[in-house]
Amino acid sequence: MNVLGIETSCDETAAAVVADGREIRSNVVSSQVALHARFGGVVPEIASRAHLELVNGVVGDALAIAGIDFSEVDAVAATCGPGLAGALLVGVSAAKAIALACGVPYVAVNHLEAHLQAAWLQDPDVALPLVVLLVSGGHTLLVEVRGDADYTVLGQTVDDAAGEAYDKVARLLDLGYPGGPVIDRLAEVGNARAVRFPRPMRHDGLDFSFSGLKTAVLHQVRRDPSMPVADLAASFQAAVVDVLVAKLAAAADRCGARTLVIGGGVAANSGLRAAVAELATETGRRALVPPRDLCTDNAAMIAATGWRRLGRDGPSPLDAGVAPSLALPTG
Ligand code: KG4
Ligand code: ZN
C-alpha cells in the first residue's frame, strides 16, 4: 500500500511515498531556510506562501522518484498539527484535494507522533518499551512508548525548546539561522571545558529548562568578548547534551526502557548522537539513532504514521481542519 505523505507544519515543504508503513520509496524535502535566514527565524506568512508555491512540485518529485503516478497512490496523509496554522493549511488542503481527486482516503497526522515513528521506520520489530527524546525547534519531550499509539509524556521543557536555545544562542553569537548546525560544527573544534555553563534542572525531575543557559551564554560573552566563539559553542553544546542525556538516562531507568530513541531536528546533533550511543552501550540498551534526514522534519514519517493510523482508526473526514496546538495523544 503506497501512502503519499505531505509535511508543511513549519519551514520545510516535504512529500514522500512510503510503502506499507516502512519502505521509503521517496523522501523529498525543500527547505525554506534561505528565505527565513535574514529574519533570524521562521516568518509564518512567508512560510505559508512558500509552501503554496512549492507543494505541487515537491509532491510531483516524490511520485517521480518513487516511480509511481497518482493512480498508484492508495492513501494521502498530511500533518494537521501542531505547527503554524497557515503553513499546515497548505499541506492539508493539498492532501485532501489529491485524496478526493484520486478517490483514496485522507489521513490527518499528528507531527509529534510522526517524529516518534522514526524508530519503526528503522526497525519494525524494535524492542519495547522505548523512550524517545524528541528535541526540535518547537518541542522538547521525553516520551515513553509501550506500543503503537501508547504514549506517556514523562517530561517536557518549562520554557525554551532545545532547538530554540541553539537558535537563540546562535543569534547572540551572530552565527545566523538556524543555529544548531553551525554551533554543532564549531563545537567540534572548540574547547568544551572553556566555560562551565549551568546545567539547568539536571537533577530535578524529567522536565527541562533552557532559558537560563541562554542567558548564561549572554553574560559570558559580555564578561569576556575575546573568548573564541568555537569555545563558547563547544561549552554551550556540552551543557545541552549533558542535560539531555542525563534526563534520557533517568527516564529510561524509570520505565525500564529497552531501547533509546532520539528524534527532531536537534537529534541531528553530532554530540548528542555520540552521547546517546555511549549511554546505550553503558546501560546495556539499544540506541536507535535515525539518519539525520529522518530526525529533521520530513514527510516519510508522516506517510508511515498515516499508514498506521489508517489501519487502526480509518480515514479522517475531508472536513477535518488543522490544529496548530495539537498535543501528543496520550492514554
Ligand atoms: O525538527 P526540526 O527540523 O523542525 C521543528 O522545529 O519541528 O528542528 C529544527 C531545529 C532548529 O532549532 C535547529 O537549530 C535544530 O533543530 N538543529 C540542530 C542541528 N540541526 C538542526 N540543533 C543542534 N545540532 C544540530 N546539528
Ligand atoms: Zn518537527
Residue pair 183/166 in contact by the 8 Å Cβ criterion: yes
The ligand whose atoms approach the alpha carbon of 296 most closely is 1
Q: Residue 12's pLDDT band (boundaries 50, 70, 90)?
A: very high
pLDDT value at residue 91: 98
Name the least confident of 34-43, 164-173, 281-290.
Answer: 34-43
Residue pair 204/236 in contact by the 8 Å Cβ criterion: no
Name the least confident of 54-63, 113-122, 243-252, 298-307.
Answer: 113-122
Q: In what side-by-side order are the strands of the sheet with 150-156?
A: 150-156, 140-147, 130-135, 259-263, 286-288
Nearest CA to ligand 1 atom 2: 265
Give the Å distance between the CA of 113 and the centre of ligand 2. Answer: 10
pLDDT value at residue 117: 86
Atom of ligand 1 nearest to the CA of 166: 14
271 lines ligand 1 (CB under 6 A): no
Q: Residue 119's pLDDT band (boundaries 50, 70, 90)?
A: confident
Atom of ligand 1 nearest to the CA of 268: 26
266 lines ligand 1 (CB under 6 A): yes
| Percent of the chain clearing pLDDT 90 (strictly above) | 89
Helix (H, G, I), strand (E, B) or coil at 292: helix
160 lines ligand 1 (CB under 6 A): no
Would you call 51 exposed, middle or buried from its count of C-beta atoms within 10 A (0-12, 13-18, 19+)?
buried
Mean pLDDT of 61-69: 98
236 lines ligand 1 (CB under 6 A): no
Mean pLDDT of 53-61: 97
136 lines ligand 1 (CB under 6 A): yes
Residue pair 108/91 in contact by the 8 Å Cβ criterion: no
Would you call 75 exposed, middle or buried from its count of C-beta atoms within 10 A (0-12, 13-18, 19+)?
buried
265 lines ligand 1 (CB under 6 A): yes
Output the average pLDDT for the chain: 95
137 lines ligand 1 (CB under 6 A): yes
Main-chain dihedrals φ then ψ at residue 190, nearest 5 degrees: -90, 170
Write out the three cell numbers for 287.
540506541
298 lines ligand 1 (CB under 6 A): no
Name the least confident of 10-19, 28-37, 172-181, 277-286.
Answer: 28-37
pLDDT value at residue 36: 85
Mean pLDDT of 32-55: 89
Q: Please give the single-letter amino acid code of residue 314.
A: G
Residue pair 161/135 in contact by the 8 Å Cβ criterion: yes
Write out the three cell numbers for 114.
510522526
The ligand whose atoms approach the alpha carbon of 139 most closely is 1
11 lines ligand 1 (CB under 6 A): no
Mutate to test the pocket of ligand 1, among 136, 214, 272 (most ligand atoms within 8 A of CB): 136
Point out which residues pair with 152 in neighbouring strands: 144
pLDDT value at residue 238: 98
Nearest CA to ligand 1 atom 14: 180
Q: Residue 120's pLDDT band (boundaries 50, 70, 90)?
A: confident
Residue pair 5/304 in contact by the 8 Å Cβ criterion: yes
Point out which residues pair with 24 in neighbouring strands: 18
Write out the three cell numbers for 26.
521517496
